Amino acid sequence: MKLEIQNISKRYSKNKYGLKDFSLTIEKGILGLLGPNGAGKSTLLKMIATVSKPSNGLLILNKNNIVKDTNYMRKQLGFLPQDFGVYPNLNAYEFLEYMAAMKGIGGSNLKPRITQLLEGLNLIDVAKKPIGTYSGGMKQRVGIAQALLNNPKIIIFDEPTVGLDPEERVRFRNLISDLANDCIVILSSHIVSDIDSIADQVAILKNGSLITNGNPEEIIQQVQNKVFEIVITKEELSSFKNTQIVVSITRKQGKFNVRFISESPMKNTIQQQANLEDAYLYLTKIN
Amino acid sequence: MKSLFSIIKSDYLQRTRSYDFLVTLCVTLAIAYTFVPEPNANYSTIRIGNYIGNYNSAWFGYVTAIMTSIFLSLVGFYLINSSIKTDIETKVGQIVAATSISNFKYLFSKVLSNFLVLVTIVSVVFAMSIVLFFLYNDGANFELLQFIKPYLLITIPAMFCIAVLAVIFEMFIGKYSVLQNVVFFFLFLSLMVFSPKNENQFSLDIFGSKIVMHHLEKTVKEITNSDKKQNLTIGYTVGGVEKSKEFEFNGINFSTSFILSRFLWILLGILCIGIISPLFHRFNTKERLSIKKHKVQIEAPSVLKEIQVLNLPIAKKNYSLFPLLKTELLLLFRKGKKWLWILNIIGMVLLAFLPLKTAHQIVLPVLWFLQISRLSDLVIKEMINKVHYFAFSSYKPIRRLLFSQVLSGIILLLLLALPLLIRFVITFQLLEVLSIILGSVFIVLLATSLGILSKRKKLFEVLFFMIAYANINRIAFLDYFGGFSPELLYVLKLSSLIVFLILSVFLTRNYQLKSN
Contact criterion met (CB < 8 Å) for A122 and B306: no
Contact criterion met (CB < 8 Å) for B331 and A50: no
pLDDT bracket for residue B294 (50, 70, 90): very low
pLDDT bracket for residue A10 (50, 70, 90): very high
pLDDT bracket for residue B297 (50, 70, 90): low
Q: B91-119, pLDDT tens digit by residue?
A: 788 888 888 889 999 999 999 999 999 99
* DSSP per position, B47-93: EETTEEE-SSHHHHHHHHHHHHHHHHHHHHHHHHTTHHHHHHHTSHH
| Cα(A256)–Cα(B260) distance, integer angstroms | 72
Q: B359-385, pLDDT tens digit by residue?
A: 999 999 999 998 998 999 999 999 989
Shortest Cα distance from A61 to chain B (angstroms)?
A: 16
Which chain A residues are within 8 Å of B374, Cβ to Cβ? none
**Interface residue of A98, A158, A176 to substitute, partner B, most B CBs within 10 Å:** A98
Shortest Cα distance from B383 to chain A (angstroms)?
A: 9
| Cα(B26)–Cα(B121) distance, integer angstroms | 10
| R_g of chain B computed on alpha carbons | 26
Shortest Cα distance from A239 to chain B (angstroms)?
A: 36
pLDDT, averaged across chain B? 87
Q: Which residue of B has its CA nearest to A127?
A: B300
Which chain A residues are within 8 Å of B304, Cβ to Cβ? 122, 167, 171
Residue A110: which of B315, B331, B396 has the nearest Cβ?
B315
Percentage of residues of chain A with pLDDT beyond 70? 100
pLDDT bracket for residue B129 (50, 70, 90): very high
Reading phi first (left if > 0) and then psi (alpha if -120 to 50, else beta), residue A156 is in: beta
| Cα(B354)–Cα(B356) distance, integer angstroms | 6
Shortest Cα distance from A107 to chain B (angstroms)?
A: 6
Lowest mean pLDDT among A8-22, B125-139, B157-171, B278-292: B278-292
pLDDT of residue B290: 46
Q: A33-81, pLDDT tens digit by residue?
A: 999 988 999 999 999 999 888 999 999 999 999 999 988 998 899 999 9
pLDDT over threshold 70, residue B464: yes
Q: Which residue of A has its CA nearest to B293?
A: A133
pLDDT of residue B292: 45
Contact criterion met (CB < 8 Å) for A135 and B310: no
pLDDT over threshold 50, residue A103: yes
Residue B297: which of A133, A141, A150 has the nearest Cβ?
A133
Higher confidence at residue B2 or residue B205?
A: B205
pLDDT bracket for residue B291 (50, 70, 90): very low
Q: Which residue of B has its CA nearest to A47?
A: B516
- What's the mean pLDDT in B305-324? 84
Task: Encode burial over B122-136: b for 16+ CB neighbours within 10 A, e otherwise.
Answer: bebbbebbbebbeeb
Q: Is B509 helix (H, G, I), strand (E, B) or coil?
A: helix
pLDDT over threshold 50, residue A29: yes
pLDDT over threshold 70, residue B287: no
pLDDT over threshold 90, residue A5: yes
Highest mean pLDDT among B54-58, B89-93, B457-461 belongs to B54-58
Angle (CA) B117 B120 B122, round 5°: 110
Question: In chain A, which among 169-228 make CB contacts under 8 A with chain B?
Answer: 171, 174-175, 178-179, 181-182
Which chain A residues are within 8 Å of B385, Cβ to Cβ? 85-88
Contact criterion met (CB < 8 Å) for B317 and A104: yes
pLDDT over threshold 60, residue B295: no
Contact criterion met (CB < 8 Å) for A112 and B516: no
pLDDT bracket for residue B286 (50, 70, 90): low
Which chain B residues are within 8 Å of A110, Cβ to Cβ? 315-316, 318
Residue B316: which of A84, A105, A148 has the nearest Cβ?
A105
pLDDT of residue A221: 94
User: CA dihedral in degrees (A127, A129, A132, A136; nearest 10)?
Assistant: -40
pLDDT over threshold 70, residue B490: yes
Contact criterion met (CB < 8 Å) for B315 and A107: yes
Q: Does A72 touch chain B (CB under 8 A)?
A: no
Q: Which residue of B has its CA nearest to A67?
A: B514
pLDDT of residue B111: 96
pLDDT over threshold 70, residue B300: no
pLDDT over threshold 70, residue B412: yes
CA neighbor of A29 nearest in space, from A255, A262, A199, A257 = A199
| Cα(B102)–Cα(B106) distance, integer angstroms | 6
CA neighbor of A199 nearest in space, from A51, A11, A26, A57 = A26
Neighbours of B143 (CB within 10 A): 17
- What's the mean pLDDT in A232-253? 89
Contact criterion met (CB < 8 Å) for B309 and A110: no
pLDDT of residue B459: 84
Q: B221-240, pLDDT tens digit by residue?
A: 888 877 676 678 777 777 66
Q: B328-364, pLDDT tens digit by residue?
A: 999 999 988 787 889 999 999 999 999 999 999 999 9
pLDDT bracket for residue B303 (50, 70, 90): low
Contact criterion met (CB < 8 Å) for A79 and B516: no
Higher confidence at residue B284 or residue B172?
A: B172
Residue A108 · residue B334 · CB < 8 Å:
no
pLDDT of residue B301: 56
Q: A127-138, pLDDT tens digit by residue?
A: 999 998 999 889
Q: How far is CA B511 from CA A65, A67, B217, in A?
A: 20, 15, 52
| Cα(B157)–Cα(B28) distance, integer angstroms | 19
Shortest Cα distance from A36 to chain B (angstroms)?
A: 22
Question: In chain A, which among 124-143 make CB contacts under 8 A with chain B?
Answer: 125-126, 129, 132-135, 138, 141
pLDDT of residue A66: 94
pLDDT of residue A113: 94
- Burial label for A86, CB within 10 Å (0-12, 13-18, 19+), is buried
Residue B335: which of A83, A89, A149 has the nearest Cβ?
A89
Which chain A residues are within 8 Å of B391, Cβ to Cβ? 102
**Interface residue of B395, B404, B513 to substitute, partner A, most A CBs within 10 Å:** B395
